[in-house]
């Protein structure tokens, strides 16, 4: 099993698709991941499974990969495995709460692109106000706290962090394309890249809330948790409390606008 632990998960799933299905069974969604460069050992470790569940998962994967091997089955009573509720520290809880505002914009994107498609001309102000939210709130206010503060507490060269950085860069490319579409009045370009951003961020936020943030916090001491809170509070204070309020108000008004139109 040792050599499998050091392989890319994508290579292992390509070799044996059953491994992807087994991971799904444990709510580890590696099969649809577009990157798939995480090592198997990181994939298993990052989910913080209890030792018995982890042993069973490893047994099933090994059995799928090497059906002819005589592998002893770990004795586990799965009925006694209680799913853990995620308890975030205050600074990370704030990041999770910020995700909720971003997800509210993502939920509106299909309605917005329908509206753009049906309009005679592109409502550039509407599109650019969404872009302003993405750039000002999601990227500058939120992602910068992750990149400048939170991710510094773990090895930034680890695959999972690289995937997060890649997602941020891909997201910025979608935004650039939406802006180009708004400038040129290209409705198809706006739709393609707003939907691309929506799909990307939906998965990105899920990975962060359920896997990355708990993984990072498990590695942090109480002293670092306190320091993280003060650094994030200082970052929030540096932009002022009006900035997040402005963007939260924007989301509420956008929801009201489209609720009325429908």
In the complex, the residues that contact other proteins under the rule CB under 8 A are: 87-91, 93, 221-223, 225-227, 229-230, 233
Least CB distance from residue 14 to other proteins, whole Å? 40
Q: How far is the CB of 156 from other proteins (least distance, A)?
A: 23
Q: What does the alpha-carbon distance between residue 138 and residue 128 come to, in Å, rounded to a whole number?
A: 14
Q: Which is nearer to other proteins, 10 or 93 (CB)?
A: 93
Radius of gyration of the chain (CA): 21
For other proteins, give the closer residue by CB, 136 or 226.
226
Among residues 43 and 228, whose Cβ is nearest to other proteins?
228
Comparing CA positions, the residue from 62, 175, 87 lying closest to residue 54 is 62
**Nearest approach, Cβ of residue 158 and other proteins (Å):** 24
Choice between 166 and 236, CB closer to other proteins? 236
Q: Supply the minimum distance, in Å, between the C-beta of residue 92 and other proteins.
A: 9
């Amino acid at each position: 099993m040792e050599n499998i632990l050091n392989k890319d998960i994508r290579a292992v799933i390509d070799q044996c698709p059953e491994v992807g299905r087994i991971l799904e069974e444990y709510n580890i969604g590696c099969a649809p991941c577009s990157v798939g460069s995480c090592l198997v050992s990181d994939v298993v470790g990052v989910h913080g499974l209890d030792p018995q569940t982890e042993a069973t998962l490893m047994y099933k994967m090994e059995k799928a990969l090497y059906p002819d091997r005589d592998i002893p089955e770990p004795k586990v009573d799965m009925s006694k495995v209680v799913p853990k509720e995620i308890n975030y520290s205050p600074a990370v809880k704030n990041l999770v709460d910020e995700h909720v505002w971003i997800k509210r914009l993502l939920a509106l994107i299909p309605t917005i692109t329908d509206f753009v498609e049906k309009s005679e001309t592109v409502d550039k102000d509407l599109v650019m106000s969404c872009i302003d939210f993405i750039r000002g709130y999601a990227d500058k206010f939120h992602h910068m706290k992750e990149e400048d503060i939170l991710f510094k507490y773990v090895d930034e060269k680890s695959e999972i962090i690289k995937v997060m950085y890649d997602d941020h860069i891909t997201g910025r490319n979608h935004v650039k394309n939406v802006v180009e579409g708004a400038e040129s009045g290209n409705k198809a370009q706006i739709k393609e890249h707003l939907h691309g951003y929506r799909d990307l961020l939906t998965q990105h936020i899920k990975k962060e809330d359920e896997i990355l943030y708990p993984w990072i916090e498990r590695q942090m001491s109480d002293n670092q948790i306190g320091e993280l809170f003060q650094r994030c509070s200082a970052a929030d204070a540096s932009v002022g409390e009006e900035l997040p309020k402005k963007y939260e108000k924007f989301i509420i008004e956008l929801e009201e606008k489209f609720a009325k139109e429908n």
